Amino acid sequence: MHALSADGRYAHARAILGLELHEKLPTLKVLLV
């Protein structure tokens, strides 16, 4: 029962992290170059 909710929360957190990474990637590229 808890595995499903935990899995959903993990997917949600991963989606948010991916979104933040996608938004900050251009900035990181500018800083690196």
Domain layout of the chain by residue ranges: 1-33
Q: Is the pTM of this model over 0.85?
A: no
pLDDT tens-place string over residues 1-33: 455 687 888 888 888 888 888 888 888 788 877
CA angle, corner 6, sides to 5 and 11, nearest 5?
95
CA distance 23 to 7: 24
CA angle, corner 21, sides to 7 and 12, nearest 5?
20
